[in-house]
Amino acid sequence: MQTVLLAAGEGTRMRPLTARRPKPMLPVADRPLAAHAAESAVSAGASRLVLVVGYESEPVREYFGDEFAGVPVEYAEQTDQRGTADAVRAASSQLDDGPFAVLNGDALYDERSLSTLYDAAPAVGSYRVENPENYGVLYTESRGGDTFATGVIEKPADPPSDLINTGAYVFPAEAQAWLDVGESERGELELTDVLTRACEESDVRAVPFDRWLDVGRPWELLEANEWKLGELERELLGDIHADADIRGSVVVEEGAEIDAGVVIEGPALIRSGATVGPNAYIRGATMLGDGAKVGHAVEVKNSLLMAGATVGHLSYVGDSVLGRDVNFGAGTNVANLRHDDEPVRVRVKGESTSTGRRKFGVVCGDGVKTGIDTNLNAGVVLSGGASTTPGESVLRDR
């Protein structure tokens, strides 16, 4: 099945992490986010991938090359990010005249569910949630033991079902002629309008996905890492001191160094060139990127430290995302829990948004520097290159 992978979006809700890199290239365990969707697609039966790229496309092209997981890769450039239907239209000259699958390059799919989707064509992937009113919700109908989608509605006050649209589709060949949709209420050209047409013209199965994660906001990047780090098998290749204690599914890559007195509880991935300790405590699910440094007596819990991030001695980092080359001065402490026990809130595109998580720390763009003994409040976002003074308590984004 020819498969279009959408990877042209600007990822504005993921700022500051996408200030200088495309969202599909954000690290999720041992590979970029979009590589997970691409791999799942190939296992499900993608015979060829057409990647739609646009915003900061060079690293995407470089990573995927012209072949990925044994299937050919082509690229379509979407110059203006005008919506998902527009993105597929940009790829249409590269499609043959058969049916085609479309997947978001910023979502994680479980392979079994995706295989079922590919086998059920035409079909849309659906996911059962408790709060469908926040999503695109499918109208469904049961016939002969199968569930079919009959339409879709965006963020309805009164949801027609608890099955939401995952943005994973297998369209019939004719849908290539339906991509020319009008602007939606939010001013985009959207694939949901193509889905609506497909539901009118054919029987579109609503395939329930066992697991699915849309990675749009920083805490979802943490959740993506929790998922994929949880699938790693223990492998200790780096230089590990005899007095370190490595527990559970932990990967220490060749070229990583773990010093004396370090305790690592999986799932955790310590990438090549990273150094930990002495006497540090790493708790899952944590990923330390290439060349990251975690110093003496530091505790890192459920966090993503991108390449070159450094945390100085006697610091605590919990439930946080640190961009490339972030430098935490000694004694930097991250708060990750509110006294009222309410979910931590983060500003996304200027709007205070619930993460839905009781525990969430901070998001730091590339190159953030904190002075010694900085306290960072739960939910704070520091943009790339921001700094704090020694002893500062940071309660607001900067």
CB of 136 to ligand TTP, least distance (A): 11
Name the one range near ligand TTP by CB under 6 A: 80-88, 120-128, 262-270, 335-343: 80-88
Residue 161 in the binding site for ligand TTP (CB under 6 A): no
Name the one range near ligand TTP by CB under 6 A: 75-83, 149-157, 253-261, 332-340: 75-83
CA separation for the pair 89, 6 (Å, rounded): 11
Exactly one of 21, 23, 228, 369 binds ligand TTP (CB under 6 A); that residue is 23
Exactly one of 2, 3, 4, 11 binds ligand TTP (CB under 6 A); that residue is 11
CA separation for the pair 119, 9 (Å, rounded): 28
One-letter amino acid identity for 213? L
CA separation for the pair 165, 107 (Å, rounded): 12
CA separation for the pair 274, 258 (Å, rounded): 8
Residue 193 in the binding site for ligand TTP (CB under 6 A): no
CB of 68 to ligand TTP, least distance (A): 16
Q: Any idea what the Cα angle at residue 86 is, between residues 77 and 180, rounded to 5°?
A: 135
H-helix segments, 128-272: 191-201, 218-229
CB of 89 to ligand TTP, least distance (A): 10
Is the CB of 211 or the CB of 247 nearer to ligand TTP?
211
Beta-sheet pairing, 239-240 with 257-258:
parallel
Token readout for 306 is 């991108």
Residue 89 in the binding site for ligand TTP (CB under 6 A): no
CA separation for the pair 363, 340 (Å, rounded): 21
Exactly one of 4, 9, 165, 327 binds ligand TTP (CB under 6 A); that residue is 9
Residue 32 in the binding site for ligand TTP (CB under 6 A): no
Residue 165 in the binding site for ligand TTP (CB under 6 A): no
Distance from the Cα of residue 41 to its chain's centroid: 16
The residue sitting closest to ligand TTP, measured at its beta carbon, is 9
Residue 61 in the binding site for ligand TTP (CB under 6 A): no
One-letter amino acid identity for 173? A
Exactly one of 83, 329, 331, 379 binds ligand TTP (CB under 6 A); that residue is 83
CB of 107 to ligand TTP, least distance (A): 7
Strand, coil or helix: 247: strand
CA separation for the pair 215, 209 (Å, rounded): 16
Beta-sheet pairing, 71-77 with 67-68:
antiparallel
Conformation bin of residue 367: beta by default, left when phi > 0, alpha when psi is -120 to 50? left
**H or E element at residue 116:** helix 111-119
In the shown chain, the binding pattern of residues 209 to 248 toward ligand TTP, with x for contact by CB under 6 A and - for none, equals -------x--------------------------------
Residue 313 among the catalytic residues? yes
CB 55 within 8 A of CB 19: no
Name the one range near ligand TTP by CB under 6 A: 57-65, 78-86, 198-206, 378-386: 78-86
Residue 86 in the binding site for ligand TTP (CB under 6 A): yes
CB of 78 to ligand TTP, least distance (A): 5
CB 33 within 8 A of CB 59: no
Is the CB of 109 or the CB of 328 nearer to ligand TTP?
109
Residue 87 in the binding site for ligand TTP (CB under 6 A): yes
Is the CB of 218 or the CB of 291 nearer to ligand TTP?
218
CA separation for the pair 270, 264 (Å, rounded): 10
Q: Which residues bind ligand TTP (CB under 6 A)?
A: 6-14, 23, 52, 78, 81-84, 86-87, 104-106, 188, 216
Active site members = 313
